[in-house]
Homo-oligomer: A and B are copies of this chain.
């Protein structure tokens, strides 16, 4: 079973690891994978989608977020960090499966509408989020978070084992070991996490060196910087994903590169929370480290639009380096092919066998004009936002079609927003 995405005005994607732009492209999808470009034999009996007036591009991977935190969108926003955090923690002590489900669903609706096909999530009740992910048909990496300050690590380990075995053969859900941070998880827990990662062969996803405070605390306590500390405990490997790295030393970069660990940049969140610092994107790229991009959660961004996040990554890097060395194609790679690599998938590409996660943009959207081969990438990264997304396919299935789904999803989002407001009412100012 498959689709023929017929006569797209343009297709922009990675082919044989090169960014290619093809005019009047037809793309064939079979059994959830890219089968080829051009019509030929594959189109027999497949459903045709007329892609005239559309641009085909890879789906975007949000490599770090906390989807249920739409619960906190605009909640005590703009308060100083300690007050904001304490208000959020008050609510988090009262969470339940239903409210996490509602908040996840709201975020997932927003992500699909803006062309995100896969995301990595860190939050409580991942089971609730997983159910919504399967209902909507996109991809997610999920798992219960280790955070000793909030939860008994033994209990988290049990949940993780159950979660990992339930979704071991899922095509859409990828279990991961979520770790909040080196300052909220003890040394013994970190050592246990390392064993679990080896035993279950699961990646570890952790916030690291996000704030000056955190770096100062670890250095004071352990005499080394956070990445050095993780390295001493054996956690730095190709199975590790480090998020933020705004306050990382240059010698820590060498440790990351040598081990083949992955890193994730969340520029908007870093700026909004005023963590300052500098994510050394150029140095990491030069060392061959695979970099993804994430929006972080709706409480600290507050958007989930990966088009906006790609642009933000370029802007922040240029502001920090005082030059234009980071370009549109770097962040387009980070948000597509690299995002899939971090998920452990071959995706973001149009080679035969890449996962068929693609997005169709309305090529007549005014934000995209004037449109040509030479400015297509630029228009996608710097000009459009997610509102030009018309169709989304994940794993070869059509999961969003604006003309068919928009109004129903909008009504659903409003209903979910009301559920959230009922839950959070008693915590409001």
Contacts and interface: CB of A to CB of B under 8 A. Distances in A.
A363 to B, nearest CB: 8
A366 B113 contact: yes
Majority SS at the chain A contact face: helix
A170 interface: no
A274 B385 contact: no
Contacts of A272: 314-315, 318, 382
A370 B298 contact: no
A411 B271 contact: no
A413 B364 contact: yes
A410 B189 CA distance: 56
A322 interface: yes
A382 B305 contact: no
Interface string A359-401: 0000011111111101111110011011100000000000000
A88 interface: no
Interface of A: 70-71, 73-75, 77-81, 106, 109-110, 113, 268, 270-274, 276, 298, 301-303, 305, 308, 312, 314-316, 318-319, 321-324, 327-328, 364-372, 374-379, 382-383, 385-387, 409-411, 413-414, 416-418, 420-421, 424, 428-429
B414 A73 contact: no
A303 B413 contact: no
Contacts of A378: 73-74, 77-78, 302
13 contacts: A74-B382, A77-B328, A110-B367, A271-B318, A272-B318, A301-B382, A303-B383, A305-B385, A369-B414, A369-B416, A370-B421, A371-B417, A372-B428
A70 B382 contact: no
Nearest to A385: B385
A368 B113 CA distance: 14
A411 B363 CA distance: 11
A361 to B, nearest CB: 13
